[in-house]
Amino acid sequence: MVDILMPRLSDTMEEGVVSAWRKQVGDEVKAGDILVEIETDKAIMEHEAYEAGVLAEIVVPDGGTAPIGAPIARLQTAGDPAVAAPAAEPAAKQSAAAEKPAEPEAAPAPAAAEPAGTPAPADGSNGARVLSSPLARRDAREFGIDLATVEGTGPGGRIIRADVAKARDAAGAQPTTAPAPTAAPAAAPALEETDELIPLTSIRKTIARRLTESMQSSPHFYVTKTVDAGPLMQLRAELNERLVAADKRKVSVNDIVVRAVAVVLRDHPVVNSSFTDDGIVQHGRVNVGIAVATETGLVVPVIRDTDGKSLTRISAETRELAGKARDRKLGLDEMSGGTFTVSNLGMYGIDHFTAVINPPEAAILAVGAVRSEPGVREGEVAVVQRMTMTLSSDHRVIDGAQAAEFVRDLAAVLENPWLAVA
Amino acid sequence: MAVMSYRQALHDTLRAEMLRDPDVFLMGEEIGRFEGSYKITAGMLEEFGPRRVRDTPIAEEGFTGAAVGAAMLGLRPVVEIMTINFSLLALDQIVNHAAKIYGMFGGQRSVPMVIRTPGGGGQQLAATHSQNVELFYAFTPGLKVVAPSSPADAKALMLASIRDDDPVLFLENLALYNTKGEVPDGDEPAEIGRAAVTREGTDITLVAYSRMAHVALQVAEKLASEEGISAEVVDLRSLRPLDRDTVIESVKKTNCAVVLEDDWLTYGIGAEVAASISDGAFDWLDAPVRRVAMAEVPLPYAKSLELAALPSANDVVTAVHQTLDAVGRRSVGAH
């Protein structure tokens, strides 16, 4: 059996179309007979048989396309055994081949239906074209604002950045009204009567995107340790007594934890890092972010150069940033540039939890409540104060032992908290 | 650092390179005995002799072709074509030969030559002597095209051009020869293909080169002092390779741009820059990129008409106003 291959008929040809078979399956072929017409990118050319035989199979039917060198038919030559047999077989193959052209014809039909369907919703949602600058569209995407609801003041009514900013401020006051029209068509199907659809705010979208990205791209692992929080509570009590006496504001357990984290991070640059495609960035500065729950969602203001700031300074900055966060007045620069995050659910009485890393940072510390429980101190059963913390680490950057060392050193500082204040 | 004219910077750099590398030689009309039409080569014939400072006949295609041959055989010719208008006579040698030899012959021969040539209108030299046809060369792969706007860049880019192994079209500008500026000592070549942010700003980006880079700086100062508009100026310095990244980064910061050029608008270098901006900074644009260019006419001889046809500082100010008005960002100033 000899394969008839798609011939190369011009320098630029990469594939050819079988324009028409001049011989049919079962036909006898002499060397030099015209077998098939091939259409190239330039012309239709006749292709002749190089050998004599019987055309046994047409692999590429009329209208079919094949790359140069691909078999388009098979020829039974005199040397082949069972020259007599092919008659029945090719018939079957031929009909199979004949079905093929039918397929491409069928395929376009559903495809054609699609374009007809799509314009309808587009018309339905909003008939007129909304003119907007690329920057305005970018801002609108970011803040989750539907441009159809924005009035354009640029030339020809074009929506410009200032218009989106105005719309965002307005939406900030009444977040539920503006996004509704966009959300409705997308989510209509599975809602039951008792369900309520709450439109995604831009902050919720950002949280969703970033945390999904974090869990998907950075392999998390967790290291947990419980520390004796007695000395910590004692230090805080003493300190606050003096601060109150001096007419200054008290510090919180979390303030001391943040200060301790910053101090220990200096000795653990691996934990104060970020993974990038170009390599691991070890940050020269220690900027600790503090997870703050707000009505609209989680935000993480950052205290810059935390390791160089006193406990009272950290406390004051945290209070200020958390206040701004709750009032939604946090600037972008106050939320960016973090190198590590502390998340504390102690005030909710949570004993222990794990946190999702805040990308592009490499680790986050989840801190639980200080609780009193029976424990063993100096060989005696006693009431001890305990606090459990869990470090979530990005395993691309931090190895298990490195995380363990960091947590161990942090525990040592928290159990001897004067080191954190020093 | 010495303060000197653009002309002096070119002269001193050429001379220093002649002293540094015996393969560097000069060719051109009237560059020897007459010391150059613009006196860039003053004193060179006397210092280096007729073997290295060659007066040529008025035959641009001939002497440019001779330089291509010399460069192929290892010398580093610096050709002066009296004005870029006359370079059209040597177009075949520049575009078809100098630019293509390295690629066409599989890298067996490079063409390390420099073609120095001034362009620009404003001198009442009429239509055929006032053109800015650097576009023809910037359009051609295989050539490098640099266009310094300051004496410091004239020096740094001349050093880079002479030492470059590819043919470089070195665009000078008649209006710039007497401008002065600080020129660093030493012998630090510029990186060809790197634009410079010559003034930082936040409201709008002005992209320009050669004379218009000067105008851009003047306009930016005026806008800042009179209207509180903060314009950033990007001086392209090199038209090929074109430093798109620097332009794009600037536009990402300012969100709108005006591109200035000294030649005809249609199909121009400004069009290329505008296309690059829309490609690289589309989502950062708050307004269409505007272009300021010369009137699309053969430049008139009459002084008043010539001035009317050339792009002016006022034209740039108007374009900036129109752009900022379109995005409601012109806070100061009456209109």
Residue A383: beta bridge partners?
Answer: A374
pLDDT at B245 over 50: yes
Cα A28 from Cα A107, distance rounded (Å): 35
pLDDT at A120 over 70: no
CA distance A155 to chain B (A): 6
Closest CA to B278 of B214, B327, B212, B207: B207
Q: Does B285 touch chain A (CB under 8 A)?
A: yes
- To the nearest whole percent, how much of chain A has pLDDT over 70? 83
SS (H, E, C) chain B: CEEEEHHHHHHHHHHHHHHHCCCEEEEECCCCCCCCCCCCCCCHHHHHCCCCEEECCCCHHHHHHHHHHHHHCCCEEEEECCCCCHHHHHHHHHHHHHCCHHHHCCCCCCCCCEEEEEECCCCCCCHHHCCCCHHHHHCCCCCEEECCCCHHHHHHHHHHHHHCCCCEEEEEEHHHCCCEEEECCCCCCCCCCCCEEEECCCCEEEEECHHHHHHHHHHHHHHHHHHCCCEEEEECCEEECCCHHHHHHHHHHHCCEEEEEEEECCCCHHHHHHHHHHHHCHHHCCCCCEEEEECCCCCCCCHHHHHHHCCCHHHHHHHHHHHHHHCCCCCCCCC
Cβ-count burial of B295 within 10 angstroms (0-12 exposed, 13-18 middle, 19+ buried)? middle
- Residue type for position B221: E
Instruction: Tell me, yes or no, if A395 is annotated catalytic.
Output: yes
Average pLDDT score over chain A: 82
pLDDT confidence bin for B313, thresholds 50/70/90: very high
pLDDT at A97 over 80: no
Within 10 angstroms of residue A99's Cβ, the number of other Cβ atoms is: 10
Specify the higher pLDDT residue, B74 or A156. Answer: B74
Q: Are B30 and B45 in contact (CB under 8 A)?
A: no
Which range of A32-36, A46-50, A263-267 scores highest in mean pLDDT? It is A263-267
pLDDT at A81 over 70: no
Specify the higher pLDDT residue, B187 or A146. Answer: B187
Within 10 angstroms of residue B237's Cβ, the number of other Cβ atoms is: 26
Please tell me the predicted confidence (pLDDT) of residue A172. Answer: 65
Specify the higher pLDDT residue, A276 or B244. Answer: B244
Please tell me the predicted confidence (pLDDT) of residue A63. Answer: 85
Q: Do A162 and B329 touch (CB under 8 A)?
A: yes
* pLDDT tens digit sequence for B25-79: 999 999 999 999 999 999 999 999 999 999 999 999 999 999 999 999 999 999 9
Q: Does A166 touch chain B (CB under 8 A)?
A: no
- Residue type for position B308: A
**Active-site residue identified among B11, B17, B29, B129:** B129
pLDDT confidence bin for A189, thresholds 50/70/90: low
| Structure tokens given for B292 | 């300021």
Average pLDDT score over chain B: 95
pLDDT at A297 over 60: yes
Write the residue in A134, A154, A155 that is nearest to B283 by C-beta.
A134
pLDDT at B130 over 70: yes
Closest CA to A344 of A383, A318, A305, A373: A318
pLDDT at A88 over 80: no
Q: Are B259 and B270 in contact (CB under 8 A)?
A: yes
For B52-55, which contacts have Cβ atoms below 8 Å and span 24 or more sequence positions? B52/B18, B52/B24, B52/B25, B52/B26, B53/B25, B53/B26, B54/B25, B54/B26, B54/B27, B54/B28, B55/B28, B55/B29, B55/B30, B55/B31
Please tell me the predicted confidence (pLDDT) of residue A91. Answer: 42
Residue B26 phi, psi dihedral angles, 5° rounding = -110, 145
Within 10 angstroms of residue A285's Cβ, the number of other Cβ atoms is: 12
CA distances from B260 to A406, B106, B223, B263 (A): 57, 38, 16, 9
Write the residue in B282, B283, B326 that is nearest to A154 by C-beta.
B326
Q: Does B252 touch chain A (CB under 8 A)?
A: no
CA distance A333 to chain B (A): 16
Please tell me the predicted confidence (pLDDT) of residue A190. Answer: 66
pLDDT confidence bin for A123, thresholds 50/70/90: very low
| Structure tokens given for B319 | 């374009």
- Residue type for position A136: A
Average pLDDT over residues A13-29: 87
Interface residue of A132, A135, A153, A159 to substitute, partner B, most B CBs within 10 Å: A135
pTM for this entry: 0.55
Which range of A294-308, A408-422, B235-249 scores highest in mean pLDDT? It is B235-249
pLDDT at A51 over 90: no
Cα A63 from Cα A105, distance rounded (Å): 11
pLDDT at A320 over 80: yes
Write the residue in A137, A138, A162 that is nearest to B328 by C-beta.
A162
Cα B83 from Cα B128, distance rounded (Å): 10
Residues of A with Cβ-Cβ distance to B286 under 8 angstroms = 133-136, 160-161
Q: Does B255 touch chain A (CB under 8 A)?
A: yes
Within 10 angstroms of residue A107's Cβ, the number of other Cβ atoms is: 10
Average pLDDT over residues B71-97: 97
* pLDDT tens digit sequence for B209-223: 999 999 999 999 999
Residues of A with Cβ-Cβ distance to B329 under 8 angstroms = 162
Please tell me the predicted confidence (pLDDT) of residue A17. Answer: 87
Within 10 angstroms of residue B203's Cβ, the number of other Cβ atoms is: 24
- To the nearest whole percent, how much of chain B has pLDDT over 70? 99
CA distance A157 to chain B (A): 10
Half-sphere CA count of B269, side-chain side, radius 13 A:
33
CA distance B254 to chain A (A): 11
* pLDDT tens digit sequence for A353-400: 999 999 889 999 999 999 999 988 888 898 999 999 999 999 999 999
Residue A20: beta bridge partners?
Answer: A37
Residue B257 phi, psi dihedral angles, 5° rounding = -150, 150
Kind of pairing between the strands at A363-377 and A340-344: parallel
Q: Are B46 and B191 in contact (CB under 8 A)?
A: no
| Structure tokens given for B49 | 């002799």
Q: Does A136 touch chain B (CB under 8 A)?
A: yes
| Structure tokens given for B250 | 């600037």
Query: Which residues, 6 or more positions from B139, have their beta carbon under 8 angstroms from its beta carbon?
Result: none
pLDDT at A246 over 70: yes
The ipTM value here is 0.76
Residue in this structure with the two tokens 């710039």, named with its chain if needed: B176
